[in-house]
């Protein structure tokens, strides 16, 4: 079915206050008949034949209707009904739930495929980071799950997705790189100069979301609460002792100075240079913070408390009609196609193996990150030329869903170092790096976008091996031009997917990295062997070797064979005017051609020139206000 334009749709098959039998009738009307493996018949048949009992209860203003088998009491199906249904609890989902639930007359129900890891130990990189991180991410590849493999030549691509409530932000903690002035202007242009994405509005919301950042006790201006977040002023006593020599080395060869603050709002271009401290910290003592999402949490103790039989769900407090479930995976969106435009009226999901249906009185908010594109396509929103041959009925023909996949590309230099030299203080739970920097486009230094990022850490970043006598210097290309895709190969959400990042398809990408190598890294290598030799006694470049570093052809081959993505995927479902090939309407945050389907997360944001997290939070904050002010277009 092609997308249709025109008046608002007729009433859905659901209506407020409907009975369980009417819900079943509504499901059948929408062509949604569930098969129960135990009996081999549909739920509608079970109800009709008197083989089930139903029970409805209200919690946090949300209705839960459970269908039980009369023969053995097992739960066969649960139908949940609320005003707003939220899929995904990462930065964007968290912002939307927090803001939507401020209206104490609006009920909000959120799910996340991940479990609650709030009771787990704090991550300490040199002790348990590798194992614990592995437990918190799933890698979805072709055809199915795969673990990442260094290099892109002929490899199976993977999609990294969080399996904890709170999303990747919960794992990465507080990444507080604000969007640069150049990024704000580019996002405004891509949106068709939409007022929602005006650079001044983006900056205002960037500042607003910093209220969720950790507070530094005793600070003259509270970090992110009453004052700005200085990205280089992390809440630790001071930089690691080895930082000074690296700052001096980079400043010498690049002509930059240590930046006062990468987030200076008044600056037309970002500060460039290498900093002796970095941004990935949570608590005031430098340890990671685990509450719900993004540092101290968006849905924090001011909004939610633990609830549920095992204490791992979240319920709103202070009158908020809010409930959040983990271990709950959305499997398909439900559309009412009886009106002029398809309207999303709910979704299927499973929890602990039990089928559930969510019914939205007002809207569904899709915030599943890189999985959002998959859910859209499996539900019939995408390129009909791809969906129809797979047996997926097209609800809305949007040819660019899943088609513009972008990701930061990274590769690492490794160096041997004295065992006394440490980049990371593992005694306070810091993340993997405490030093790093941003640099401009080596082909156009007047470009206000950050194009190159560097992180320096202990161990081998390519294998995440914590070796105290090894340093890894990772270089990120933040603005590659190459684009990939994520499209289905079957009608199943968990079936095989055709996935690629398309790295180096555009030759400018590898040329940019090689130019930075030639103009910054090679001079740094010479400085370490010459004027800075006394400071860098005991250091040696090991991979690539000095011979490879000095040979352009070998260095190019090294990049191609070792480059990897940075888990910063974006642009799959671009926020841009529908008439210009966009997937999400910049006026509303609704998926083009639909009603009732709000979609703002990392997959709609244009390629950030820093870590995705702050950018996603900012854009979600903008469009949460849009949705709330429109009463979710009910």
Span 240-254, pLDDT tens digits = 677 888 889 999 999
**Would you give the distance in Å from CA 622 to the centre of its chain?**
16
> In the prediction, which pLDDT does 161 show?
62
What is the average pLDDT across 98-103?
A: 94
Query: pLDDT value at position 160?
Result: 60
Token duo for residue 93: 């989902």
3-state helix, strand, coil in the chain (%, to 5): 25, 25, 50
Closest CA to 444 of 516, 510, 517, 507: 516
Q: Give dist(CA 410, CA 404) in Å, integer.
A: 19
> Averaged over 30-50, what is the pLDDT?
38
Query: Which of these ranges, 340-344, 451-455, 539-543, has the smallest mean pLDDT?
Result: 451-455
The answer to whether 250 and 521 have CB atoms below 8 angstroms apart is no
Among 69, 17, 63, 19, smallest CA distance to 43 is for: 69
* Span between the terminal Cα atoms of the chain, in Å: 24
Q: Quick count: other Cβ atoms within 10 Å of Cβ 255?
A: 9
User: Comparing 367 with 448, which gets the higher pLDDT?
Assistant: 367
- Name the 3-class secondary structure at 405: strand
Q: How many residues does the chain have?
A: 634
Q: Which two tokens stand for residue 327?
A: 């271990």
- Domain extent listing, the chain: 125-158+228-290+405-565
- What are the start-end ranges of the H helices in 81-225? 91-100, 130-136, 167-172, 181-190, 199-209
**Tokens 């608002």 found at:** 8
Average pLDDT for 485-514: 87
Q: Two tokens at 30?
A: 């929408």
pLDDT at 262: 72
**CB distance 199 to 205 below 8 Å:** no
Stretch among 68-72, 309-313, 412-416 having the lowest mean pLDDT: 68-72
- Identify which has the larger pLDDT, 228 or 561: 561
For residue 297, CA distances in Å to 94, 100, 270, 283, 612 come to 9, 16, 27, 11, 17
Q: What pLDDT score was predicted for residue 307?
A: 86
Residue 65 parent element (H or E): strand 62-69
Residues whose CB falls within 8 Å of the CB of residue 497, separated by 6 or more in sequence, listed in order: 140, 141, 142, 143, 159, 374, 486, 487, 488, 489
Can you give the pLDDT at residue 266?
54
Nearest residue to 599 (alpha-carbon basis) of 573, 630, 632, 625: 573
Question: Minimum mean pLDDT among 86-90, 455-459, 610-614: which range?
Answer: 455-459
Strand partners, 382: 397
Non-local CB neighbours of 124 within 8 Å, separated by 6+ positions? 426, 429
Q: What CATH code is assigned to 125-158+228-290+405-565? A: 3.30.560.10
Distance CA 14, CA 360 (A): 9
Tens-digit pLDDT profile for residues 414-433:
999 887 787 765 544 334 44
**Mean per-residue pLDDT, 546-563:** 94
List pLDDT tens digits, range 3-34: 333 222 333 333 333 344 444 434 433 333 33
- What is the torsional sign of CA 290, 291, 293, 297? negative
What pLDDT is stored for residue 176 in this prediction?
A: 64
The answer to whether residue 533 scores a pLDDT higher than 90 is yes
Task: Report the pLDDT value the prediction gives residue 326, as an integer from 0 to 100.
Answer: 85
Categorize the per-residue pLDDT at 162 as very low, low, confident or very high, splitting at 50, 70 and 90: low
| Confidence at residue 175, expressed as pLDDT on a 0 to 100 scale | 57
Q: What confidence score (pLDDT) does residue 311 get? A: 78
Residue 422, SS3 per DSSP: coil
**Radius of gyration for the chain, computed over Cα atoms and rounded to the nearest angstrom:** 25
Does the pLDDT of residue 174 top 60, yes or no? no
SS3 at position 235? coil
CA dist., res. 60 & res. 515, Å (int): 57
The percent of residues above 90 in pLDDT, for the chain, comes to 41
Question: pLDDT tier at 390 (50, 70, 90 boundaries)?
Answer: very high
Contact 99, 624 (CB under 8 A): yes
The pair of structure tokens assigned to 310 is 């095992």
At 296 the pLDDT is 40
Please tell me the predicted confidence (pLDDT) of residue 138. Answer: 55
Rounded mean pLDDT, 44-59: 67
* Burial of 385 from C-beta contacts in 10 A (0-12 / 13-18 / 19+): exposed
Q: Between these two residues, 325 and 281, which has the higher pLDDT value?
A: 325
Put residue 308 in one of left, alpha, beta given phi > 0 → left and psi -120 to 50 → alpha.
left
Residue 632 has pLDDT above 50, yes or no: yes
4: Cα within 13 Å, side-chain hemisphere? 15
Q: What is the residue-wise DSSP string for 325-382?
A: ESSEEEEEEEEE-SSSS-EEEEEEEEETTEEEEEEEEEEEEE--GGGHHHHHHHTTEE
pTM of the model: 0.85
* Helical axes 91-100 vs 612-629, angle rounded to 10°: 30
Distance CA 48, CA 26 (A): 14
Name beta bridge partners: 79. 65, 357
Question: What is the average pLDDT score of the chain?
Answer: 76
Compute the average pLDDT of residues 459-482.
75
Q: Residue 19: is it exposed, middle or buried by C-beta count within 10 angstroms (0-12/13-18/19+)?
A: exposed
Quick check: 256 and 274 in contact, CB under 8 A?
Answer: yes
């Amino acid at each position: 079915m092609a997308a249709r334009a025109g008046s608002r749709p007729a009433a859905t098959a659901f209506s407020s206050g409907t009975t369980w039998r009417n819900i079943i009738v509504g499901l059948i009307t929408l062509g949604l008949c569930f098969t129960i493996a135990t009996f081999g018949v549909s739920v509608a048949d079970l109800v009709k034949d008197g083989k089930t009992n139903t029970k409805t209860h209200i919690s946090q203003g949300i209705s839960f209707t459970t269908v039980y088998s009369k023969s053995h009491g097992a739960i066969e199906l649960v139908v949940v009904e609320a005003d707003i249904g939220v899929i995904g609890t990462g930065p964007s989902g968290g912002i939307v739930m927090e803001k939507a639930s401020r209206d104490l007359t609006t009920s909000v129900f959120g799910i996340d495929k991940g479990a609650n890891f709030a009771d787990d130990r704090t991550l300490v990189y040199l002790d348990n980071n590798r194992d614990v991180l592995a437990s918190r991410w799933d890698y979805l590849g072709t055809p199915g799950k795969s673990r990442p493999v260094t290099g892109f030549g002929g490899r199976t691509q993977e999609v990294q997705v969080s399996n904890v409530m709170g999303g990747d932000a919960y794992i990465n903690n507080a990444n507080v790189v604000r969007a640069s002035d150049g990024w704000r202007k580019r996002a405004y242009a891509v949106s068709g100069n939409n007022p929602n994405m005006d650079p001044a509005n983006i900056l205002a919301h960037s500042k607003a979301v910093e209220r969720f950042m950790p507070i530094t006790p005793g600070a003259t201006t509270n970090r992110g609460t009453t004052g700005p977040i200085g990205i280089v002023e992390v809440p630790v006593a001071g930089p690691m002792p080895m930082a000074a020599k690296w700052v001096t080395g980079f400043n010498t060869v690049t002509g930059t100075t240590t930046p006062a603050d990468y987030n200076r709002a008044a600056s037309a271009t970002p500060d460039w240079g290498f900093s002796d401290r970095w941004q990935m910290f949570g608590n005031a003592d430098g340890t990671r913070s685990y509450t719900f999402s993004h540092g101290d949490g968006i849905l924090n103790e001011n909004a939610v408390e633990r609830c549920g039989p095992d204490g791992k769900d979240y319920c709103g407090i202070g009158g908020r009609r809010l409930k959040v479930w983990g271990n709950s995976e959305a499997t398909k969106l439900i559309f009412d196609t009886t009106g002029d435009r398809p309207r999303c009226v709910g979704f299927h999901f499973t929890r602990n193996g039990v089928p559930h249906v969510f019914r939205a009185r007002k809207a569904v908010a899709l915030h599943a990150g890189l999985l959002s594109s998959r859910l859209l396509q499996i539900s019939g929103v995408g390129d009909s030329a791809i969906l129809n041959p797979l047996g997926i009925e097209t609800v809305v023909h949007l040819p660019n869903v899943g088609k513009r996949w972008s990701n930061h590309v990274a590769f690492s230099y490794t160096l041997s170092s004295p065992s006394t030299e440490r980049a990371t203080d593992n005694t306070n739970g810091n993340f993997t790096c405490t030093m790093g920097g941003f640099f401009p486009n080596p082909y156009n230094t007047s470009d206000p976008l950050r194009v190159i990022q560097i992180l320096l850490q202990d161990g081998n970043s390519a294998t995440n091996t914590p070796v105290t006598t090894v340093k890894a210097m990772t270089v990120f290309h933040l603005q590659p031009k190459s684009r990939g895709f994520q499209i289905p190969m079957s009608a199943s959400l968990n079936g095989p997917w055709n996935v690629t990042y398309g790295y180096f398809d555009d030759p400018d990408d590898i040329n940019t990295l090689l130019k930075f190598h030639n103009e910054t890294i090679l001079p740094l290598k010479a400085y370490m062997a010459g004027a800075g030799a006394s400071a860098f006694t005991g250091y040696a470049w090991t991979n690539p070797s000095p011979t490879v570093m000095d040979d352009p052809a070998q260095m190019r081959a090294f990049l191609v064979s070792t480059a990897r993505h940075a888990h910063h995927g974006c642009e799959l479902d671009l926020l841009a005017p529908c008439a210009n090939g966009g997937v999400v309407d910049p006026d509303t945050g609704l998926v083009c051609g639909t009603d009732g389907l709000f979609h703002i997360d990392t997959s709609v944001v244009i390629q950030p020139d820093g870590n995705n997290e702050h950018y996603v939070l900012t854009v979600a904050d903008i469009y949460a206000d849009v949705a709330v002010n429109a009463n979710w277009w009910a």
